Structure 1
Amino acid sequence: MVSPFFAQFKEVTPKRVSDFILEQLEEAIILKEVLPEEQLPPERELATLFKASRLAVREAIAELEQKGLIERRLGAKGGTFVLPLTAKTHQRTIQQIADNWTQTKELLEYRSVIEPEAARLAAARITPEHLAYVRDLVEKSSGEDCNREMFRSLDVKFHLEIARASGNSFFESAVRLIRTKINPGLDLMPYNREIQLASYEQHRVLIEALAERDGDKASKTMHMHVHKTLAKLSQFVE
């Protein structure tokens, strides 16, 4: 008799090379590591980077275009350009987020455990150079000329850098996964000067805790910060 344990195994599904390329490019765009209006390298260069065929690259690019993440432009200044994600929020509805709310809520709960502990480790391990870098990210996010897309980009970078400063690759990978999954939902949230400055103040307090090497303060500040995001998104969706 076959043990019931084996019934838990998942079926094998075929995965094309283009899917691997798509996942990496999509993650970079969602995490805003490739910024809006930035041009992607030509297919030939991407094929070399990924060590894949141009056909596989072309299929991945076509899927990104279908998702509304990039735009192919013709002419002398043509090419493949990244589109602003937050400018596309009107194409998604609250209902779409609500339909996936169970998973999103679980990710936000997971985030409320992972990021505070990453911040605790970062307080002990962050270097002066890394601290100066994240401080610069926070200061840039407070400027009056910081539009919605740039604000979202700086916010993602800030949280990823705190995870990186923890010195633990598992924390960094976890935060990347979480942000890749929840960013489309966060992009739906309102943005104005008041929200911008409130976020800046929370990030500033966290920077102080890191500078003071106060792990408990860093952890508590991060926990409060991510819990507020969960609460706001819950009000927005439920």
Structure 2
Amino acid sequence: MDDKGWEQHIAPVRSAGAAEAVARRLNELIGARILVGGDRFPPEKALAEMFGVAVMTVRHATAVLREDGLIETRRGHRAGTYVVPDVLGRIRELTALHPYTRTDIEELTAWRIAVSGEASARAARRASEASLAGLRELEAATVEAVADAEASRTLDAGLHLYIAELSGSQRLLEAEQGIQDELTRLLADHPGGVESRRMPDQQHRALVAAIEDGDPAKARERFTIHAEATADLFLPFVQ
């Protein structure tokens, strides 16, 4: 089984609507780029234990993802259930069926500012030098990967998830996973491509610098600028 730190991303679900809840959570892990193309799921029994549900519930949940074309089951050598290799392409196709509206983007931006802005402020208060070193490495990696849309999306999501982790709040981290899932769907058909990703407000240097300086207000401000700049890329293209 591939080591993706499954346990830290999964908690038991309630029995009512359990299959839908499991499917939604697995879908979110894919959208948040915690799981990427080619990653293998744990066996059904292991997943059922993580979620605190019956194996049949997991089976129903994965059937939903399989029907959506997000995962596939392989037989023979290295048999198992995997995220499909071109999962971003499939997400793009699914998103095209229900495209984002202006209201969707405005609400997502408000959600980001509330959750990720607070996570950035808390990270500025709490981050240790060791964790700041990790943050700097992630920021540098996002710059290096800017020309590769898939790698850039994965690293961008990872950086914001890491900031949420540095906030010390499990609820903020879980909310950030939902945000990154939505962003992957929104960014699946990025209107500006590489040049937009290279714009200063789409980069993270100013945000990381504010966190390094231990300035919560500045970190919140820099994140707000970052989130609003992302929205500005899309609003001219939607109804």
Deviates more, 1:215-224 or 1:190-199: 190-199
Tell me if structure 1 keeps the 8 A contact 2:72–2:82: yes
Q: Distance in 1 between matches of 2:229 and 2:64?
A: 34
Quote how far apart the aligned CAs of 1:222 are: 0.9
SS at match of 2:53: coil
Quote how far apart the aligned CAs of 1:93 are: 5.8
Structure 1 residues 237 and 89: alpha-carbon distance in aligned structure 2, compared to 1, 3 A threshold? farther
SS at match of 1:81: strand
Q: Distance in 1 between matches of 2:93 and 2:202?
A: 31
1:8 corresponds to which residue?
A: none
Quote how far apart the aligned CAs of 1:199 are: 6.1
Q: Distance in 2 between matches of 1:51 and 1:223?
A: 38
After superposition, where does 1:184-199 map in structure 2 within 5 Å? 184-190=185-191, 192-198=193-199
Q: Distance in 2 between matches of 1:125 and 1:81?
A: 37
SS at match of 1:141: helix
Q: Distance in 1 between matches of 2:102 and 2:38?
A: 30
Q: Distance in 2 between matches of 1:199 and 1:45?
A: 43
1:4 corresponds to which residue?
A: none
Structure 1 residues 189 and 133: alpha-carbon distance in aligned structure 2, compared to 1, 3 A threshold? same
1:204 corresponds to which residue?
A: 205
Tell me if structure 2 keeps the 8 A contact 1:141–1:200: no
Count of residue pairs brought into register by the alignment: 224
1:54 corresponds to which residue?
A: 55
Q: TM-score, normalised by structure 2?
A: 0.81
Quote how far apart the aligned CAs of 1:40 are: 0.9
Tell me if structure 1 keeps the 8 A contact 2:161–2:173: yes
SS at match of 1:33: coil
Larger Rg, first or second structure (1 or 2): 1
Q: Supply the AA of the counterpart residue of 1:65.
A: R
Q: Supply the AA of the counterpart residue of 1:91.
A: E
Q: Supply the AA of the counterpart residue of 2:71.
A: I
Tell me if structure 2 keeps the 8 A contact 1:72–1:80: yes
2:136 is the alignment partner of 1:135: yes
Q: Distance in 1 between matches of 2:176 and 2:145?
A: 28
Tell me if structure 1 keeps the 8 A contact 2:105–2:235: no
Tell me if structure 2 keeps the 8 A contact 1:142–1:196: no
Quote how far apart the aligned CAs of 1:23 are: 2.2
1:39 corresponds to which residue?
A: 40
Quote how far apart the aligned CAs of 1:124 are: 1.5
2:176 corresponds to which residue?
A: 175
SS at match of 1:184: helix
1:107 corresponds to which residue?
A: 108
Q: Supply the AA of the counterpart residue of 2:158.
A: K
SS at match of 1:80: strand
After superposition, where does 1:87-166 map in structure 2 within 5 Å? 87-92=89-94, 94=96, 96-98=98-100, 101-143=102-144, 147-166=148-167
Q: Supply the AA of the counterpart residue of 2:37.
A: P
Quote how far apart the aligned CAs of 1:45 are: 2.4
Q: Distance in 2 between matches of 1:88 and 1:67?
A: 8
Deviates more, 1:59-68 or 1:41-50: 41-50
Structure 1 residues 109 and 209: alpha-carbon distance in aligned structure 2, compared to 1, 3 A threshold? same
Quote how far apart the aligned CAs of 1:61 are: 0.9
Quote how far apart the aligned CAs of 1:192 are: 3.9
Deviates more, 1:193-202 or 1:112-121: 193-202
Partner deviation per Cα, 1:94-119 (whole Å, 9 max, x = no partner): 57224x55344212222223322332
Q: 2:87 aligns with which of 85, 88, 98?
A: 85
